[in-house]
């Protein structure tokens, strides 16, 4: 939803310059939008991936790790806050007993 707005940054700035209303929007506004898009890109991939039919709860752990690593590597305020919030939310919702059971069912050598 933000991508079309970011793609039209030049056109918007030119129009606002012609209207002498450039103060309405700032370069920092577009930089913030670009940062949000970068942070949400791995999240978008991770949301689309579990939509497949062959994905299990075992895959969900790997997908979450993918999100945490990719978003953490961006090293900005938004990514840091997002990772912290996601980790807290996952800890609240994660049932370790069920995950251990799934691991042992998949690989009998693993004991819960």
**Which parts of the chain register pLDDT below 50?**
none
pLDDT number for residue 88: 93
Residue 11 counted as domain residue? yes
Residue 44 counted as domain residue? yes
What is the DSSP secondary structure assignment for residue 52, as one 8-state letter? S
Print the domain residue range for 42. Answer: 3-106
pLDDT number for residue 93: 85
Give the burial class of 88: count Cβ atoms within 10 A of its Cβ; 0-12 exposed, 13-18 middle, 19 or more buried: exposed
Residue 112 counted as domain residue? no
pLDDT number for residue 28: 64
* CB-based contact 68:83 (threshold 8 Å): yes
pLDDT number for residue 15: 75
pLDDT number for residue 51: 66
Backbone φ/ψ region at 75: left (φ over 0), alpha (ψ -120 to 50), beta: left
- Which tens digit of pLDDT belongs to each residue from 75-107? 899 899 999 999 999 888 888 888 778 778 877
pTM of the model as a whole: 0.65
Residue 24 counted as domain residue? yes
Arithmetic mean of pLDDT over the chain: 80
């Amino acid at each position: 939803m933000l991508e079309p707005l970011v793609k039209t940054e030049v056109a918007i700035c030119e129009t606002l310059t012609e209207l002498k209303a450039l103060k309405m929007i700032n370069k920092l506004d577009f930089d913030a939008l670009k940062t949000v898009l970068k942070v949400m890109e791995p999240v978008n991939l991770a949301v689309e991936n579990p939509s497949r039919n062959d994905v299990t709860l075992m895959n969900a752990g790997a997908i979450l790790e993918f999100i945490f690593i990719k978003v953490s590597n961006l090293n900005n305020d938004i990514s840091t806050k997002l990772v912290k919030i996601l980790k807290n939310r996952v800890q609240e919702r994660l049932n370790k007993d069920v995950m251990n059971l799934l691991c042992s069912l998949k690989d009998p050598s693993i004991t819960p």
